[in-house]
Amino acid sequence: MDSQQKIKQLIDFRQEARIGGGEKRIDKQHEQGKYTARERIEMLLDEGSFEETDMFVTHRCTEFGMEKTKFLGDGVVTGHGTIDGRIVYVYAQDFTVFGGSLSETYAKKICKIMDQAMKVGAPIIGINDSGGARIQEGVNSLAGYAEIFQRNIMASGVVPQISAIFGPCAGGAVYSPALTDVVIMSDKTSYMFVTGPKVTKTVTGENISTEDLGGATMHATKSGVAHFRADDENEGIMLIRKTLEFLPQNNLEDPVITRCADPIDRLDDDLNEIIPDNPNQAYDVKDIIYTIVDNDDFLEFHRHYAKNIVVGFAKFNGRPVGIVANQPNFLAGVLDIEASRKAARFVRLCDAFNVPIVTLVDVPGFLPGSHQEYGGIIIHGAKLLFAYGEATVPKITITLRKSYGGAHDVMSSKQLRGDYNYAWPSAQIAVMGSKGAIEILEGKKIRSIENPDERKEYIKTKEDEYLNNFANPYQAAKYGYIDDVIEPRNTRFRIIRALQTLATKKDSNPPKKHSNMPL
């Protein structure tokens, strides 16, 4: 074979690898509203930046007649490229080859690029679309999953890991995305579950559809497994790129600061009127977030899950931050099991990758009731407390209105190493609300007043007295627990000034193998 023939052979092999399982299977993928693995990578990465590795790998299985059918690449496309000029490593499972099922060699391809990403300190993006383990390979396939899981664990908190679920992801396969930082699912075309509807019906008798058991809507609203539910794959890929705007390449770098045309000293007079005079009246904390951040741009995580707390990324004067905010518009902004888990996970993501945390507080306390206590609200609430106390990144807290009891401590209080703790004049910082406090402090006197009108008037007088004397920011400010009481319209400027000041902050935790956080 001469050199021209060898080159032609190479070109032919590349063409064979690029069509995966063949045109018929590609057409079927498109009919289901899904892109192919290579199309997804092309959409994700900067044009012309993809460098593929292991294009010619094939499986080694000789059982069940598998030696008769081999595809170049063996069902997963791996390599590296750039997103906005930044190096990322990526793998995309190819459903057109053996249903995207994972083999020993397939796993080795993924592990290879994960190892390289760790060496160079670059994000890892996994696009999942797979029928699960390749049954014909038995324990070798299971070992391949475990090798990937181990690398997910080692990479956790070292390089950002993002998982996109654009098709099936079931059985043991679900644990790799679960170990990563961000999970994105496409609506109606993806699902995740440990055991499917058929096994569920056999074991439990429960009749349930694939969508209801593990679809994107379920995981975005009920389980909290999915951070984002994308309408389609195009939006899912956009969300991957958008998320990386706020994260650094690795844990030793800071997020990229971009140029910002939004004025630092922009005054927002609407904020001075946004808190209702009635302390029990709701408002939307997102109205505050969109007002104070750069260019009304806020990337909300878990939008449909635990809506009583809002988390997500934004920028202040071009500097990426994580925002955690109680949401009075839903369950009065109370902390419950789901909200505590959601916020704790997000705080730890920010701290792992050097993203400052801005906390907006309006919390009446923890949700009472047997359901919460039986579900372990103590341990789940402690997760958020632990996450804030452990975090060493710059932490800025703004108390907007209520900050009561243990929830006050949990929400990035000064005693949890809050760097700058500000309050609006509307802030009510106390052990509890006025109604509960007066019932305890004045209960005996109230019960002694026989006339209902007099009793009602006495209660109102005492509640007003409590609000004026105790449920305000100045009591906390007297002790230095609040650094300053600020005018709401100046909030953006004060946050930006604080972030500039804290840019060189150095803080650390005691040397240890690892903490034992309340899981």
pLDDT in tens, 166-176: 999 998 899 99
Tokens of 450: 């026989």
Is residue 359 a part of any domain in this protein? yes
Annotated catalytic, 282?
no
Q: Of these residues, 121, 157, 172, 196, which one is catalytic?
A: 172
Band of pLDDT at residue 326, cut at 50, 70 and 90: very high
pLDDT category, 497, cuts 50, 70, 90? very high
Instruction: Indicate if 239 and 180 belong to the same structural domain.
Output: yes
From the list 20, 100, 132, 171, the catalytic residue is: 171
Same domain, yes or no: 11 and 155: yes
Instruction: Let me know if 387 is a catalytic residue.
Output: no
What's the pLDDT at 125?
A: 98
Of 490, 434, 481, 488, the C-alpha closest to 279 is 434
234 and 154 in a single domain? The answer is yes
Bridge partners of residue 128, in order along the sequence: 165
Task: Decide if 84 is inside a domain.
Answer: yes
Question: Does residue 257 sit within a domain?
Answer: no
420 and 331 both lie in a single domain: yes
CATH classification of the domain holding 383: 3.90.226.10
Question: Do residue 222 and residue 359 come from a single domain?
Answer: no
Q: Is the pLDDT of residue 135 over 80?
A: no
pLDDT band at 7 (very low <50, low <70, confident <90, very high): confident
Look up 318 and say whether it is catalytic: no
Same structural domain, 337 and 461 = no
389 has catalytic annotation? no
Gap between the Cα atoms of 415 and 435, Å rounded: 26
The verdict on 205 and 281 lying in the same domain is no
Identify whether 254 is part of a domain.
no
Asked if 153 and 290 sit in the same domain, the reply is no
Please tell me whether residues 495 and 445 are part of one structural domain.
no
Same-domain check for residues 280 and 209: no
> Whole-number mean pLDDT of the chain?
93
Spatial separation of the C-alpha atoms in residues 95 and 515, rounded to whole Å: 40
Q: Specify if 253 maps to a domain.
A: no
291-327 CB burial, b ≥16 within 10 A, e <16? bbbbeeebbbbbbbbbbbbbbbbbbbbebbbbbbbbb
Of 387, 407, 437, 498, the catalytic one is 407
9 is a domain residue: yes
Residues in Cβ contact with 117 at an 8 Å cutoff, skipping those fewer than 6 apart: 80, 89, 123, 124, 155, 159
Look at the pTM and tell me if it is higher than 0.75.
yes
Angle in degrees, 0-180, between the axes of helices 104-120 and 139-155, rounded to the nearest 10: 10
Q: Verify that 426 and 441 share a domain, yes or no.
A: no
Question: What pLDDT does residue 59 have?
Answer: 80
Please tell me which residue, 437 or 417, carries the higher pLDDT value. Answer: 417
Asked if residue 388 belongs to a domain, the reply is: yes
pLDDT at 232: 97
- Options 121, 196, 406, 436, the catalytic residue: 406
For 276, the domain range is 269-432+472-504
| 456 and 321 co-located in one domain | no
Q: Provide the number of structural domains found in the chain.
A: 3
Q: Tokens at residue 148, please?
A: 């990937």
In a domain, 46, yes or no: yes
